[in-house]
Structure 1
């Protein structure tokens, strides 16, 4: 049974009663503004602070209730650190007069005022830009309007993003970090189990989900499929880069982008004999037709249903595995504002997918 910490008013009542019970001559009651009554209230307050401090210490004594630097300390014991925020990047195209080079450090602006900076001098009027500030707010789609922060002679103010601006991630929320720390303690005592590869992959800032494929390219190979749901929203959460292995891995092609970040992180932690290949899943859109909504066929309800289906795919979809109709029935059924509905399509479980194919939400058609 858990210990109940008395509240301040209870401690004050107890202290006042203890003063009366002490048998001090002439004191059979404590008045609110009396000296002895005030001293009792002060003592109650000090006791309450002690209780609260002891409760705080107890919470920091185990990783599942620890907070802030104490949680970080528990994580450090298992080489599991809170994911730092990252900056979004993209390749952009400039329009210039012949021979003009856009210098490194040129500021690029988004319509909302968010700033990017070129990381090197332009080559063939192209350059890599990076968000000035960290965080997911730096991410944007390929069609975003960009302009020069300051005018440059012979350079058009309009800047074209040749790729989506991706890779920006916020500081990992403490509860998400706590779950990774707890997972690290649960799987301790071995090196090379599936859970460890997943934990390593999800330790990279932009990675939100990961799965393992044993011997995917032959004996001794380990495939790690990753998703970057928050960092790469404009790419439907799929990693931006090419599949492959770590920079120091000589037995396979070197990856790039998000895949390389994961491969290089795992390189120092993996068993020495394993050949790790980090891959992006192949999108397998699943279209839905939802009918018989009646008066519930509103834009708000449609968006809520889509959000519920997206959440279902995030939680339950696995590369190469099928989903059961009960999954999307539960997802749509959880929308309390929809009184009745009928899922016309898909009519059955998804056919088992080929290796590496990940089912995602496709087009959703609604009918009253």
Structure 2
């Protein structure tokens, strides 16, 4: 049973009772003995509070942020900082030009990306350009179109086929606390799958880890990873490289290790919603959320998605396409990952 800390009033009452027992005096609130009892009880109450504070910091589950750094140092599990987003864009020019390293792109919303290396663009030839975010953070992951700042003569001001990912913010406090608790509960590393997953979570930018032992035969250990994002995204080559270094450090001496990216398998979804006053935007969000939750190799289940949609207000029925479950392919070459392709939501015509 936990020790019950007395309140200030209870401490004061105990002191007053002791004085009365020793002196036989009748003590009222305005008496000198009662005032002295107030002061003593305040000190005792402060000591109890201090002991409660110390107890709180002793355990990972309750420690305040500054003390989590002490626990992290003991466990060798520092808080993850953010990572820079990186990727490629397709640039087009009607004359041959050289884009110098540091040339900037923007989305017009105070986010900027820089060209990573000098790149020559031939006339009328779409060219992939490697870019990196100017600042750390998940907000610098991008797709769609971006715009050059002060483009050179002949260079199209808009870039297309934007694929920039891998950016992440500093690890959230409670996510870090959960990692610390997990490491504490696992104890000494014993080369279990949970140990490996816990270790790989220490790579900045990694969201999910899926372990496939003997995927390429005896002695092999393959790990599929996804990148931080909302929803999670495919990892960049830089993230795969840093995760590979971490995996080699952890298990390279006893296994043929490989970090790889899942392969996207797009699922085009069409939903015809029956019901009066249905908010189709909510339906779209439910479908996006469902696909965002799917892990690599996890199947699309028609019944589950249908049930989530029917559970929305005013929805009486839904006709979903695909109308059957979709099972992603998993072989030694590919681990397919079901992602949402085109989405069409409508009412019956």
CA separation in 1, counterparts of 2:193 and 2:305? 28
Q: TM-score normalised to the size of structure 2?
A: 0.78
The 1:311/1:53 distance shift into structure 2, 3 A limit, reads farther
Aligned-pair distance for 1:65?
Answer: 2.9
Structure 2 residue 54 is matched with structure 1 residue 57:
yes
Q: Which residues in structure 2 correspond to 1:1-368 (within 5 Å)?
A: 1-6=1-6, 10-11=7-8, 13-21=9-17, 22-23=19-20, 28-31=27-30, 40-91=37-88, 93=91, 102=100, 104-106=101-103, 108-120=105-117, 122-124=118-120, 128-148=130-150, 158=157, 160=159, 163-230=162-229, 237-241=233-237, 257-291=238-272, 293-295=274-276, 297-310=278-291, 312-313=293-294, 317-319=295-297, 321-322=298-299, 327-328=304-305, 331-332=308-309, 337=313, 340-342=316-318, 344-351=320-327, 353-355=329-331, 356-362=335-341, 363=343, 365-367=345-347
Give the count of matched residue pairs. 334
Aligned-pair distance for 1:108?
Answer: 4.5
Q: TM-score normalised to the size of structure 1?
A: 0.74
Q: Secondary structure at the match of 1:360?
A: strand
**8 Å Cα contact 2:146/2:158 also seen in 1:** no
Aligned-pair distance for 1:154?
Answer: 5.9
Q: Find the counterpart in structure 1 of residue 125 from structure 2.
A: none
Tell me whether 167-176 or 89-98 shows the greater mean CA deviation.
89-98
Identify the structure with the greater strand proportion.
2
Q: Secondary structure at the match of 2:135?
A: coil
Q: Secondary structure at the match of 2:276?
A: helix
Q: Secondary structure at the match of 2:59?
A: coil
Aligned-pair distance for 1:43?
Answer: 4.2
Aligned-pair distance for 1:62?
Answer: 2.7
CA separation in 2, counterparts of 1:128 and 1:157? 17
CA separation in 2, counterparts of 1:301 and 1:267? 44
Q: Secondary structure at the match of 1:170?
A: coil
**8 Å Cα contact 2:27/2:33 also seen in 1:** no
**8 Å Cα contact 2:105/2:148 also seen in 1:** yes
CA separation in 2, counterparts of 1:187 and 1:71? 18
CA separation in 1, counterparts of 2:291 and 2:32? 65
Q: Secondary structure at the match of 1:164?
A: strand
Q: Secondary structure at the match of 1:177?
A: helix
CA separation in 1, counterparts of 2:252 and 2:180? 21
**8 Å Cα contact 1:147/1:159 also seen in 2:** no
Aligned-pair distance for 1:143?
Answer: 1.3
CA separation in 1, counterparts of 2:241 and 2:67? 31
The 1:166/1:361 distance shift into structure 2, 3 A limit, reads closer
**8 Å Cα contact 1:302/1:366 also seen in 2:** no
Give 5+ residue unaligned stretches, structure 1: 242-256
The 1:221/1:347 distance shift into structure 2, 3 A limit, reads same
